[in-house]
Amino acid sequence: MAILVTGGCGYIGSHTCIELLDAGYEIVVIDNYYNSKPEALRRVKELSGKEFPFYECDIRDAEGLRRVFSAHKIDAVIHFAGLKAVGESVQKPLTYYDNNVAGTVVLCQVMAEMGCKRIIFSSSATVYGTGNPSPLKEDMPTGAVTNPYGRTKFMIEGILSDLCVSDPEWSAVLLRYFNPIGAHESGRIGEDPNGIPNNLMPYISQVAIGKLPKLSIFGDDYDTPDGTGVRDYIHVVDLARGHVKAVGYALAHTGAEPINLGTGIGYSVLDLVNAFKAANGVDVPYTIAPRRSGDVATCYSDPAKAAALLGWKAEKNVEDMCRDTWRWQSQNPKGYDE
């Protein structure tokens, strides 16, 4: 029995590979290295003490996928492969629809052909859009998204749900991530963004290490306790463990099931900056800047469904997230480029 991990060389994928190996699963990994480096999987092997097959393969390459499925008995697929930069998706919508949506269609076609009908998909809280109050629950309406990236997630959720209706043998777990941050506690793997980070936590850690001069806080006049945006930050290792539980669920159930992976707790931008400073004894200079277009004031999960269906809940706190991010950042100031 093996689990195919698409995009397994990336930030969340690499952490999930470790947790799958620790839980005793065999894994097969594919990635096209668009946003990752071979060093990440080398370190996964080092940390886990286990070997596993890797293929440099694009999810849009049906022949390449057939070769992987023919060489291994794949029981389920965890599908991380995708592009994720919100701003870039506005500039290059066709690239995003091709890679994320068309890529997922090719992957599912090959899966069906090869008799593997269980998929765990990386969706996002972004599908809840702008109209719902937090805490966000899985039965709330989705689709009022603000950018092409978010629309790819909404569309893929629809495609996988349609597939499950068309063929009752399919199982699709649609994991709606909130804001993954942090790193493996060894400090050996973590998030290695290209160029200037878009997301808050990698920006904070690059300011703390002196790579960037100061953080811009996008808006301090939201309707939140301190005026800055509130999010549900979740430790990437907790998130990875949620995938291990989701594999067990997908092997035992059919149908499409959206499930939030979050902590249920909201922290503001200033909360996170202050937690980072306190956990690590470092300074994080910042300035208040205008709001970023497309941002909502508050976004946090109701995590009850994940507890009920998967038996999973987040265990790490914001101090763990800040400490582990800093260990990764300070031990690997150039990311995977040593």
Active-site residues, by number, are: 149
Tokens of 79: 């599908």
Among 89, 104, 122, 260, binds ligand NAD (CB under 6 A): 122
Nearer to ligand UFG among residue 150 and residue 182 (C-beta): 150
The CB-of-220 to ligand UFG minimum distance in angstroms stands at 9
The CB-of-124 to ligand UFG minimum distance in angstroms stands at 4
**In the 3-class helix/strand/coil scheme, how is the chain assigned residue by residue?**
CEEEEECCCCHHHHHHHHHHHHCCCEEEEEECCCCCCHHHHHHHHHHHCCCCCEEECCCCCHHHHHHHHHHCCEEEEEECCCCCCHHHHHHCHHHHHHHHHHHHHHHHHHHHHCCCCEEEEEEEHHHHCCCCCCCECCCCCCCCCCCHHHHHHHHHHHHHHHHHHHCCCCEEEEEEECEEECCCCCCCCCCCCCCCCCCHHHHHHHHHCCCCCCEEEECCCCCCCCCCCEECEEEHHHHHHHHHHHHHHHHHCCEEEEEEECCCCCEEHHHHHHHHHHHHCCCCCEEEECCCCCCCCEECECCHHHHHHHCCCCCCCHHHHHHHHHHHHHHCCCCCCC
Please, which of residues 175-194 interact with ligand NAD by CB under 6 A? 177, 180
Residue 84 in contact with ligand UFG, rule: CB under 6 A: yes
Q: By rule CB under 6 A, what string of x and - marks binding of each residue 206-245 to ligand NAD?
A: ----------------------------------------
Residue 295 in contact with ligand UFG, rule: CB under 6 A: yes
Q: By rule CB under 6 A, what string of x and - marks binding of each residue 118-137 to ligand UFG?
A: ------xxx-----------
The entry of ligand UFG, ligand NAD, none near residue 216 (CB within 5 to 8 angstroms by kind) is ligand UFG
Residue 292 in contact with ligand UFG, rule: CB under 6 A: yes
Nearer to ligand NAD among residue 268 and residue 288 (C-beta): 268
Intra-chain end-to-end CA distance of the chain, in Å = 35
- Residue indicated by tokens 């994928």: 13
Residue 216 in contact with ligand UFG, rule: CB under 6 A: yes
The entry of ligand NAD, ligand UFG, none near residue 150 (CB within 5 to 8 angstroms by kind) is ligand UFG
Tokens of 309: 């269906």
Residue 265 in contact with ligand UFG, rule: CB under 6 A: no
Please, which of residues 135-194 interact with ligand UFG by CB under 6 A? 150, 179
Nearer to ligand NAD among residue 165 and residue 196 (C-beta): 196
The CB-of-264 to ligand UFG minimum distance in angstroms stands at 15
**What does the binding site for ligand NAD look like in residue numbers (CB under 6 A)?**
6-7, 9-13, 31-36, 58-60, 80-84, 99, 103, 122, 124, 177, 180
The residues of the shown chain that bind ligand UFG, judged by CB under 6 A, are 84, 86, 124-126, 150, 179, 198-200, 203, 215-218, 229, 231, 269, 292, 295
